[in-house]
Amino acid sequence: MKKTIRLLALLALGCCTCFFSCDEKQEMTYKDSLLNRTEKEQINFDVDSLKDFIIHQYTKSLKYVGTGNKIPRNSYKDGTIRTVGIESWVSGFYGGSLWYIYELTGDNTWLEPAKHWTEILEPIQHYEGIHDIGFMIYCSYGNGFRLTHNESYLPVLRQTSETLCKRFNPAVGTLLSWGNLADTLTQEYHNTIIDNLMNLELLMFSADKFNAPRFSGIARAHADKTAESHVRPDYSTFHVVEYDKMNGAIVKQKTHQGYEDSSDWARGQTWAIYGYNLMYKYTRESKYLDLACHIADRFIDRLPGDLVPYWDFDDPGIPDTYRDASAGAIASCALFDLSKLIDNADLELKYHNIAIGLLNNLTTKEYLATEEYYKCLLLHSVGHWNQKTEIDTNINYADYYYLEALLKALGIYHESSI
């Protein structure tokens, strides 16, 4: 509890530093100040106190769930945790977060829990019930291999890639989103969501690691078709595209989790920035970097003055609507990467400063789950607005990307070596 009190005091100071360091008469927002900087923004929170907080929260979480196979998804004010099974699309984020804590602390006591919450997902390598197996296995097994080079993880990564590729429809050029493969013959359309770009990292890793160009061919086709069909002229994105499964013609461009079909859903934008970053990292094809930059610029233009995005930039309730901390965390990760990839000093500074700014403002008492009853890190994410589920709450993928952003900000994220 003393650690939490100390952190709260430091966070309160950090908030003041963030918002009131500028002359109030200028009425310059934090975002404006960052975009006008000629030097790189710095972390404005106490890193050691934050580490203590992270360890404290996940120690509580591990004690609650034990060593079973029910994976934490949400933490509640009554002290309970909502758990899910291994077939949930979010099942890989908890193990991935534990790997990140191991990387952050260098403490070997985090190895065993990271391994446990990774290896319970072993059956997912054959699972045909959902497209998100790339998320599920790469966030867990992928990070585990990245940090330990455990050779026993490689067959799982390869088989998951094989299973994921069964969803590729050559007539369309993308991987099928949603639905069990056994049901595909009865589905009227071939759906693809913008989130699916994140599954491509598994395929690109596997293509290089196993000398399997078929994986990268499918990933490239999916990325190219998504760029053609999901990205609007203003570089916002559609969440879902329905294709004719026989000839690949676009049937409908729409949303599933955004405000409306034509709106700018914040988390969808961050998936796109991150996804095209990844494709550029692996291919070095400039078209992917250019696209990531355009989508990032659009995203930054629409950010509010304190940077943390509204869940959908076109919600007419703004500013009296919800923020999405998960989108902020994902964006911070993606923009850190983009700042390293771009060969342009002005853009490098812009992306770096917004990435740090997002991390700074997520690391405040407004967004961190500092109340003792919580067993998570970040509050105030929006999962599925239209179904009214996980609204203004904590979700395990927000923690995962927040930890990743922190590692990148500290310069201790170890890039994968094939």
Residue 382 pairs with which residues in a beta bridge?
391
Three-state secondary structure readout of the chain: CHHHHHHHHHHHHHHHHHHHCCCHHHCCCHHHHHHCCCCCCCCCCCHHHHHHHHHHHHHHHHHHHCCCCCEEEEECCCCCEEEECCCCCCHHHHHHHHHHHHHHHCCHHHHHHHHHHHHCCHHHHHCCCCCCHHHHHHHHHHHHHHHHCCHHHHHHHHHHHHHHHCCEECCCCEECCCCCHHHHHHCCCEEEEHHHHHHHHHHHHHHHHCCCHHHHHHHHHHHHHHHHHHECCCCCECCEEEECCCCCCEEEEECCCCCCCCCCEHHHHHHHHHHHHHHHHHHCCHHHHHHHHHHHHHHHHHCCCCCCCECECCCCCCCCCCECHHHHHHHHHHHHHHHHHCCCHHHHHHHHHHHHHHHHHHCCCCCECCCCCCCCCECCEEEECCCCEEEEECCHHHHHHHHHHHHHHHCCCCCCCC
Given the residues 132, 306, 312, 399, select the one marked as catalytic.
132
The total number of residues written for the chain in this structure: 418
Catalytic residue among 46, 195, 312, 399: 195
Active site residue 244: no
Active-site residue, 132 included = yes
Q: Are 238 and 174 in contact (CB under 8 A)?
A: no
| Residues noted as catalytic | 132, 195
